[in-house]
Amino acid sequence: MTRTGGGREVHIAGVAETALGEVHDQTELSMFALAAREALAEAGMTLRDVDGLFVNYMGEEGTVQVGEYLGVTAPRYLDSTDIGGAAFEAFVHHAMLAVAEGRCEVALIGYASRQRTRRARNIGGGAVDLDSLAAQFQTPYGLPAPIGHYAMMAARHMHEYGTTPEQLAEIAVAARAWARLNPKAWSRDPLTVDQALSSRMISTPLRRSDCCLVTDGGAAVVVTSADRARDARKPSVRVLGAGESQSHWHIASMPDMTVTAGAVSAREAFGMAGITASDVDVLQPYDSFTVTVLLALEDLGFCAKGEAGAFVSGGRLAPGGALPAMTSGGGLSYNHPGALGALLLVEAVRQLRGEAGDRQVADAEIAVAHGVGGYNSTASTVVLAR
């Protein structure tokens, strides 16, 4: 196991969730401020220590409104990389490099959203520039966004490899089984494969049960040097490696609908960390849809291309399974605030610290958080170790 490339060893020293579910008594900015203060307190720090901001989707101009709200008025490193749900693992990648090189010392990463309370989702994919390529060549066809894009990937995987709806349902069932162990999870009722397969079809082969939640939520994550992390109130975790990539925007331009950008992001992250998939004790894949997990399992190397359907069968991802994954209940059953990546990091850290309560994975030493954005367009992978 190697240290991060180049400079100093880098840690995550604090994490916190925002208020979750349906949030009526806070704004996005106040939610994030409270989570940031809590995450910094875990790290033994305050907002006065923050000199790097890694934030997006919190108002115009990336980091600036959050920085002003938090009183972080003179940071020396800013990043608002706009790659959707994959931004947050990419922020850890960028913060790791910035801290390792001494360009900042205390990096605050995060996000909050009230997409549920605001009823902000639009299955048409939102308004697009009427001159854009998407407006000319994609949106006139009525492909629901994002689900229709993921549905085409699932259909192609089924066609090439014989993957079944039951196998996709296994992923949703595993997430739900974990959620039942997490008091903060939004959906905690029991879910069986049969129940999943009787939920409403939306865009074949994907049903309601294949889709993530739409909830309010968010998280804050503090990345700092190993030296600074010594003051943390809780054990900090090491950032062993990180990577990111992208593949396509328009569905017709996805080079292979069964291969995602995760193949590159994981190769980079695992290579930097000096690990392989078999070293991973607990996995936090981006479960925007069941098929997002299915493809990631192959692209990250947990099984060969085409084998993820069989791999997830028999509860392998569920509590007691060989590869504990989505241990918070994930975006499918715990919380999905529009961009899940920051919450994946929170859960990975808590598992490595051994503070995950009833859902704790015994002796978890290496955790992976894998972010995905857009229409399975972007990916970023982070390897953490206790």
Q: Where on the chain is the footprint of other proteins (CB under 8 A)?
A: 123-124, 131, 133, 136-138, 140-144, 148, 151-153, 155-156, 159, 200-206, 250-253, 257
Find where tokens 């934030």 sit: 55
Q: Give the amino acid at 343.
A: L
Cβ proximity of 373 and 85 under 8 Å: yes
Tell the smallest beta-carbon distance from residue 292 to other proteins (Å).
Answer: 15
Q: Is the CB of 78 or the CB of 128 nearer to other proteins?
A: 128
Tell the smallest beta-carbon distance from residue 66 to other proteins (Å).
Answer: 33
Is the preceding peptide bond at 205 cis, omega within 30 degrees of 0? yes
Tell the smallest beta-carbon distance from residue 209 to other proteins (Å).
Answer: 14
Q: Give the amino acid at 123.
A: I
Burial-class residue 38 by CB neighbours within 10 Å (0-12, 13-18, 19+): middle
Q: Is the CB of 25 or the CB of 129 nearer to other proteins?
A: 129
Residues 6+ positions from 253 with CB-CB distance below 8 Å? none
Residues 6+ positions from 26 with CB-CB distance below 8 Å? 18, 19, 34
Q: Is the CB of 45 or the CB of 257 nearer to other proteins?
A: 257
Q: Could you give the maximum distance between any two Cα atoms of the chain, in Å? A: 55
Q: Is the CB of 27 or the CB of 132 nearer to other proteins?
A: 132
Q: How many Å apart are CA 183 and CA 166, to the nearest integer?
A: 27
HSE-CB at 361 with a 13 A cutoff on CA atoms is 28
Cβ proximity of 174 and 318 under 8 Å: yes
In angstroms, how far is CA 238 from the centroid of its own chain?
18
Q: Is the CB of 252 or the CB of 304 nearer to other proteins?
A: 252
Tell the smallest beta-carbon distance from residue 124 to other proteins (Å).
Answer: 5
Q: How many Å apart are CA 217 and CA 85, to the nearest integer?
A: 13
Integer-rounded Cα Rg, in Å, for the chain is 19
Q: How many Å apart are CA 94 and CA 268, to the nearest integer?
A: 13
Q: Is the CB of 148 or the CB of 243 nearer to other proteins?
A: 148
Q: Is the CB of 90 or the CB of 151 nearer to other proteins?
A: 151
Tell the smallest beta-carbon distance from residue 363 to other proteins (Å).
Answer: 41
Tell the smallest beta-carbon distance from residue 127 to other proteins (Å).
Answer: 13
Find where tokens 């049903």 sit: 207
Tell the smallest beta-carbon distance from residue 140 to other proteins (Å).
Answer: 5
Tell the smallest beta-carbon distance from residue 253 to other proteins (Å).
Answer: 7
Q: Is the CB of 102 or the CB of 124 nearer to other proteins?
A: 124
Cβ proximity of 347 and 371 under 8 Å: no
Q: Which of 239, 220, 237, 231 is nearest to 352 (CA)?
A: 237
Q: Is the CB of 141 or the CB of 189 nearer to other proteins?
A: 141
Q: Is the CB of 144 or the CB of 315 nearer to other proteins?
A: 144
Tell the smallest beta-carbon distance from residue 254 to other proteins (Å).
Answer: 8
Buried b / exposed e along 227-253 (16+ C-beta atoms within 10 A) = ebbeebebebbbbbbbbbbbbbbebee
Tell the smallest beta-carbon distance from residue 144 to other proteins (Å).
Answer: 5
